[in-house]
Amino acid sequence: MKIIITGALGHIGSYVSRYLSNQYPGTEIIMIDNMMTQRFPSLFNLPESGKFRFLEADVIKMDIRSLLGKADLVIHLAAITDAAGSFDKAEELEANNYHATRKVAEACVAEGARLITLSSTSVYGTQNLVVAEDCSPEELKPQSPYAVTKLKEEELVTELCNRNGLKAVICRFGTIFGTSPGMRFHTAVNKFCWQAVMGQPITVWRTAYDQKRPYLDLTDASRAFSHIIRNDIFDGRIYNVLTINATVRQIVETIREFVPTLDVQFVDNKIMNQLSYEVSCERFKDTGFIFKGDLSKGIGETIQLLKHANR
């Protein structure tokens, strides 16, 4: 089997590439990354079970179609992912994320490769208690340029599936937590873990403490990719993929179990997303997938890695 992973050195890609090589020994894995964030350690100690090839390239500028010969699958992860930081660079984000997805998807159509592409549960932004993939358009209220662009990417891929026979699946991931060689610390759980270990106060908007959001364990994310591949779930549908719907309070209290001195400071500043919602992942569970991730375990492993840096 030949798998191409774009954005392969990132938080998700650096873990998934290793996971899939162990699940499918002998698989050729082509890792593409533009090195914008210079995560060189993501290439260290790659498992011998896979046949790895790394290309430093920009998906938009490169001839990705030439790589797709005999490729079974593309996992498209390449994107600017900082939703909170996307407000002052909406045009740049769309130029990068949307056009990269379009180029990859159209190349898959031309070469007959299957595609797994990522979206985000941040496209919902609803105040309904529980929201699912078949919600009304009114319940899709993206709260950032990042989420707006994700919706456009979904529409593009769906159209290519319906009109051009693209074999694809769209995964709306919850916010990732868990350790990997290319992990970052700009999203909620990881950022809070970093601040706690470094003795920095966790800053929480006062009325957001009990707001609920969807989160995804990195191990569940990787298992989801494998599940899609094994069961050939390239049906053009959208699937919510998340381990847990949790409040900021739950995350903070879990971190406090490992860092009892944790300092939480409440502020009145307006945050990016003021809404609380719970996301259903029953559609993905109905394919036979069982989520096994654990928030406490993921937080504990992250804190354990960081503790050696601040004893």
Which letter does DSSP use for residue 185 in this model? S
Q: What is the pLDDT of residue 88?
A: 59
Q: Using an 8 Å Cβ cutoff, are 216 and 273 in contact?
A: no
Residue 43: CA count within 13 A, CB half-sphere:
14
Sign of the alpha-carbon dihedral angle for 253, 257, 259, 261: positive
Q: What is the pLDDT of residue 84?
A: 53
d(CA 113, CA 105): 9
d(CA 305, CA 33): 25
Q: Which residues pair with 3 in a beta bridge?
A: 29, 73
Per-residue pLDDT for the chain (311 aa), expressed as one digit of tens each? 999 999 999 999 999 999 999 999 999 999 999 988 888 888 899 998 889 999 999 999 999 999 988 889 999 999 876 655 555 566 777 778 999 999 999 999 999 999 999 999 999 976 667 899 998 887 888 878 888 999 999 999 999 999 999 999 999 999 999 999 999 888 889 999 999 999 999 988 877 888 889 999 999 999 999 999 999 999 999 999 999 999 999 999 999 999 999 999 988 755 445 567 899 999 999 999 999 999 999 999 999 999 877 66
Using alpha carbons only, give the angle 245, 246, 247 rounded to the nearest 5 degrees: 140
The CATH number of the domain covering residues in 178-213+245-307 = 3.90.25.10
d(CA 308, CA 311): 6
Q: What is the pLDDT of residue 206?
A: 77
d(CA 11, CA 176): 8
- The alpha helices in 54-89, defined as continuous H runs, are none
- Local structure of 208: helix, strand or coil: helix
Q: What is the pLDDT of residue 83?
A: 52
d(CA 217, CA 136): 27
Q: What is the pLDDT of residue 72?
A: 92
Q: Using an 8 Å Cβ cutoff, are 284 and 224 in contact?
A: yes
The whole-model pTM stands at: 0.92
- Secondary-structure breakdown of the chain: helix, strand, coil percentages, each rounded to the nearest 5: 40, 20, 40
Number of neighbours of residue 292 by Cβ within 10 angstroms: 11
Q: Is 184 exposed, middle or buried (0-12, 13-18, 19+ CB in 10 A)?
A: middle
Structural domain boundaries in the chain:
2-176+217-243, 178-213+245-307
Domain 2-176+217-243 falls in which CATH fold? Rossmann fold (3.40.50)
Q: Using an 8 Å Cβ cutoff, are 47 and 22 in contact?
A: yes
Q: What is the pLDDT of residue 82?
A: 60
Burial code (b: 16+ CB inside 10 Å, e: under 16) for 265-276 equals eeeeeeeebeeb
Q: Determine phi and psi for 30, rounding to 5 degrees.
A: -95, 115
Q: Determine phi and psi for 205, rounding to 5 degrees.
A: -65, 130
